[in-house]
Structure 1
Amino acid sequence: MPASVSLTDLQERIGLRFADESLLRLALTHSSYANEHTDAVGSNERLEFLGDAVLGLVVAERLYADFPDIEEGQLTQWRAHLVQGPTLARVAGRLELGRWLLLGRGEDATGGREREGNLAHVYEALIGAICLDSGPGGGMDGARRFIERSLEPEITGLQTDPAELNPKGVLQQLAEIELGRPQYVTTDERGPDHAREFTVEVRLGGEVFGTGCGGSKQQAEKQAARQAVLRLRERLDAEAPALDATSGAE
């Protein structure tokens, strides 16, 4: 955590105040930092374990309440999408949690603040810390409010944009007629075996339309596909007025 960044700033950012700031600090402590600092009380891994369980329960409750006409299979798919690493990393990115991560020197120097796995894990650890805190914004109710508030855009988007759930399928439908089948190319692979990081490009007609990173090739491909869908939609929208004008001229 840079010296210029304080826990007070973070609490303002996430909209709650901890009664026990040591819980918040622990939630931000990556194992690489704990290994380098003898004064660290531990890493955020146990809080991540707790937060993961709380997150799954809250998301399941919310989906059950909000979508009474949706079958179990679809609810299961939606829940899996909402609690997967890329989704949580995106939410953590919106909250800028990477700014406050406590990282070891090597992890920090190699892009650890933007690494998908670190962001997803710190989001889950933060949920665990909120759940354990005794302040007015803490406890299970506080964790539920935080999860629902921070995940609201993703929950709202479940029924409005199929690219959120199946970006590769949507990209293939958009591209196949004119640009051909998307090609996914792994351009980089780094990190230890337990924390691999893959970078994948998706190409259409030989042109790179999107790049994604993730803890697996599948996750990286999905992220690249989402980016490509946005870019391809923009291109198709830009071409539509020109086509309309041509049709009108006839």
Structure 2
Amino acid sequence: MSYIQVRNVWQQYDEHVVLEGLNLDIAEGEFCTMVGASGCGKSTFLRLLLGQERPSRGQILLNGQPLAAEPDPSRGVVFQRYSVFPHLSVLDNVAIGLELSKAPLLGRLLGLRKREAREQAASLLTQVGLGHALNQYPAQLSGGMQQRLAIAQALIMKPKVLLLDEPFGALDPGIRKDMHALLVELWQQTGLTVFMVTHDLSEGFSLGTRLLVFDKTRIDPHAPQAYGSRVTYDLPLNARRQSASTASLQLQTGH
């Protein structure tokens, strides 16, 4: 059985159809890059996967179960605009995710539990190359470092699915290359199932194990919003990289 099943999903806002008849089967550990013209529904599809929105029609299943109606720790997300807390240090930006999940009433942990959460956050920050910046604040970091922080925020909850919406679009080419290498390394280590929206076709081809192209197949000039986008091309990529991720996943699960 596929890990994620998308069954005849439509998304419509009043008379505006954004997605129509979307059907996909995604295996666990796949890295799906998504490309297409602006406004063709890529980010809308990410919001459906995250649980920020529910489909107008159809269903999305995660591991055989209906997708939770609201965002939960099983799905991490990274946006193009850095979703960090400017008033918190780098370490606290990551540790707060653990504190809020384990102490939802107080929002803070105490004693040994707090120390363990901060040690876990520090370890992850070292893994993403921010071990030297634990006590700095986001405003003191470069754009690439802030995006590393955002990725650490998403990964600290150990999600099963990572959703990326143009995460490197605002970065310089050299920094983007470094971030590509970091993302692939983290994906191979964790066995995450990844969905990444990008406007850079070369980025889509080089990073993913599967390229999904979104486009409208039907257009009515008299009613331009009457039809939505579908996945018009579904291309397998980087089979060797997929095998590495699958091997990592099997080691983690003991299969």
Report the TM-score range of the alignment, normalised by the length of the smaller protein. under 0.3
Q: Larger radius of gyration, structure 1 or 2?
A: 1
Question: Which has a greater percent of strand?
Answer: 2
Q: Which has the higher contact order (CA 8 A, sep 6+)?
A: 2
TM-score with structure 2 setting the length: 0.26
Q: TM-score, normalised by structure 1?
A: 0.26
